[in-house]
Amino acid sequence: MKYKLIMQHQNTLAYAQDLDKKDELAAFRQRFHFPQHDGKDVIYFTGNSLGLQPKSTEAYIQQELNDWKTYGVEGHFLAKNPWFSYHEILTEQAAQLVGALPSEVVMMNQLTVNLHLLMVSFYRPTAKRYKILCEAKAFPSDQYALQSQAEFHGFKSDDAIIEVEPREGEYSIRYEDILAAIEKHKDELALIMFSGVNYFTGQVFDMKSITELGHKHGITVGFDLAHAAGNIDLHLHDWGVDFAAWCSYKYLNSGPGSVAGAFVHERHHKNTSLPLFAGWWGTDKKKRFLMEKTFHPIEGAERWQLSNAPVFSMAAHKAALDVITDAGFSKMRKKSADLLSYLEFIITEINGKQAEGKKFEFLTPKENSPYIPKGIQPGCQFSIIAHGRGKELFHALVKHGVVPDWREPNVIRMAPVPLYNSFEDLYRFGEILKSLCSL
């Protein structure tokens, strides 16, 4: 059913249920806890903000609680999954999701913390080359991180940060404009840092081209993959990306504030002269407990670790990664495209009945447009502009058991995710939206 033509869809319950019957991943919905509304599962569209809890998470965390109860400090070595090396059980699966070698990935800290730690090493401004290129309206935490990094090095952030903006009257950034900005500022840029998927518009950036062009001009390139990891196809190693960081609580369903990921390309692993903020978890594992004064950098992303593993949040992450492994990420990607196609069909149909000025406008750009080059499949986020409506529409949706996300002044963000959303969810959402629009 991949990329089914919108014309072939039908807006009926029977049709949606038939798609669910044919869906290879349909059973995975049963592996998640859903918040309830009037005794029924809500229509949960905020997997882009906080993914739902896998039912297995409790047992994974309970295992660590039991081992702590049983072994106390000895759990570092005697626990079923020894805490001393707990992060290592996450690496292989996390690396697969971002298209990296295991040595290039480590799960640690939180997202903004990781961005800062990585910029300590990879934002190395000089008097001539000190600027940072990023997308306009990046997530605020990223903006603050970039500003404070520039200021930490003694630059004025207004001068040091160059934002690529959408054109007048447009919402997303044309990819030719990103490439043109790199060319224009090539001699003054020390760093390019974009998100993989913009949190607001859902625009997927062409990370491969951005990295290639940046590198051609000797610029370091990093990405914030908060809205990309577990959502879109990533090939960080092959694209040659220098560094990246992501969180695990959105599409990776690992719980609020759960452990984040960091990627450092293999080509930097032997470069022990890279400056970094060090901690004991980044030193050679064999020497760590000798408690010596000298830091012996691990050759790999683990070098950037500071502290011992936050085992409970890592247990939640392991539970979630195992669900994704069972489902298979390529199947998730296929279903994601199918869900998006059906949602677009439903909203297009509603638009057909709406008065001018009240039609929903699609904010999230599509593949093969001026914003997303051909061959780059968007993720599952779908943002729409609710023209002529205010937050009352959002409140009404919530009252009817839909959980979308509202951004001022009038944007509804939805993310039908392949692991636990169904086609029936989309059909039911359409019926609720229609009734709220008095159609």
Ligand X SMILES: Cc1ncc(COP(=O)(O)O)c(C=O)c1O
The C-alpha torsion from 424 through 428 and 429 to 431, rounded to 10°, is 140
Q: Which is nearer to ligand X, 360 or 371 (CB)?
A: 371
Q: Residues binding ligand X: what is the number (CB under 6 A)? A: 12
Binding range to ligand X, per CB under 6 A, among 9-17, 106-114, 205-213, 309-317 = 106-114
Three-class secondary structure of residue 384 per DSSP: strand
207 binds ligand X (CB under 6 A): no
Residue type, 334: K
Least Å distance, CB 365 to ligand X, is 17
Q: Which is nearer to ligand X, 51 or 416 (CB)?
A: 51
Segment 128 to 147, residues that bind ligand X, using CB under 6 A:
139, 141-142
Binding range to ligand X, per CB under 6 A, among 221-229, 350-358, 405-413, 427-435 = 221-229
Q: Which is nearer to ligand X, 77 or 144 (CB)?
A: 144
276 binds ligand X (CB under 6 A): no
119 binds ligand X (CB under 6 A): no
- The sign of the CA dihedral 204, 206, 207, 213 is negative
Q: Which is nearer to ligand X, 228 or 340 (CB)?
A: 228
Classify burial at 368, counting beta carbons within 10 Å of its beta carbon; exposed 0-12, middle 13-18, buried 19 or more: exposed
Distance separating the N- and C-terminal Cα atoms of the chain: 29
Least Å distance, CB 185 to ligand X, is 23
Least Å distance, CB 319 to ligand X, is 19
Q: Which is nearer to ligand X, 256 or 328 (CB)?
A: 256
Does residue 304 contact residue 264 with C-beta atoms inside 8 Å?
Answer: yes
224 binds ligand X (CB under 6 A): yes
Least Å distance, CB 140 to ligand X, is 8
Question: Quick one: which of 150, 226, 316, 376 contacts ligand X (CB under 6 A)?
Answer: 226
Classify burial at 364, counting beta carbons within 10 Å of its beta carbon; exposed 0-12, middle 13-18, buried 19 or more: buried
Question: Quick one: which of 46, 112, 254, 421 contacts ligand X (CB under 6 A)?
Answer: 112
The C-alpha torsion from 295 through 298 and 299 to 305, rounded to 10°, is -110
User: Which DSSP symbol is given to 304?
Assistant: G
Question: Quick one: which of 46, 149, 195, 220 contacts ligand X (CB under 6 A)?
Answer: 195
- What would the x/- binding string for ligand X be over residues 148 to 187, using CB under 6 A? ----------------------------------------
Least Å distance, CB 250 to ligand X, is 7
Dist. CA 12–CA 18, nearest whole Å: 10
Three-class secondary structure of residue 99 per DSSP: coil
Unique residue bearing structure tokens 């840092």 = 193
Does residue 430 contact residue 439 with C-beta atoms inside 8 Å?
Answer: no
111 binds ligand X (CB under 6 A): yes
Residue type, 86: Y
Least Å distance, CB 109 to ligand X, is 9
Does residue 242 contact residue 221 with C-beta atoms inside 8 Å?
Answer: yes
Question: Quick one: which of 110, 172, 231, 313 contacts ligand X (CB under 6 A)?
Answer: 110
Quote the tokens at residue 370: 């001026």
Least Å distance, CB 59 to ligand X, is 25
Least Å distance, CB 199 to ligand X, is 5
Does residue 134 contact residue 193 with C-beta atoms inside 8 Å?
Answer: yes
Least Å distance, CB 382 to ligand X, is 16
Does residue 45 contact residue 416 with C-beta atoms inside 8 Å?
Answer: yes
Binding range to ligand X, per CB under 6 A, among 104-112, 208-216, 299-307, 342-350 = 104-112
Q: Which is nearer to ligand X, 254 or 341 (CB)?
A: 254
> How many C-beta atoms surround the C-beta of residue 71 within 10 A?
16
Residue type, 346: I
Classify burial at 238, counting beta carbons within 10 Å of its beta carbon; exposed 0-12, middle 13-18, buried 19 or more: exposed
The CA-CA-CA angle for residues 420, 422, 425, to 5°, reads 115
Least Å distance, CB 406 to ligand X, is 15
Q: Which is nearer to ligand X, 86 or 199 (CB)?
A: 199
Q: Which is nearer to ligand X, 103 or 147 (CB)?
A: 147
Residue in 379, 325, 329 with CA at minimum distance from that of residue 90? 325
Least Å distance, CB 222 to ligand X, is 12
Residues that bind ligand X (CB under 6 A): 110-112, 139, 141-142, 195, 199, 224, 226-227, 247
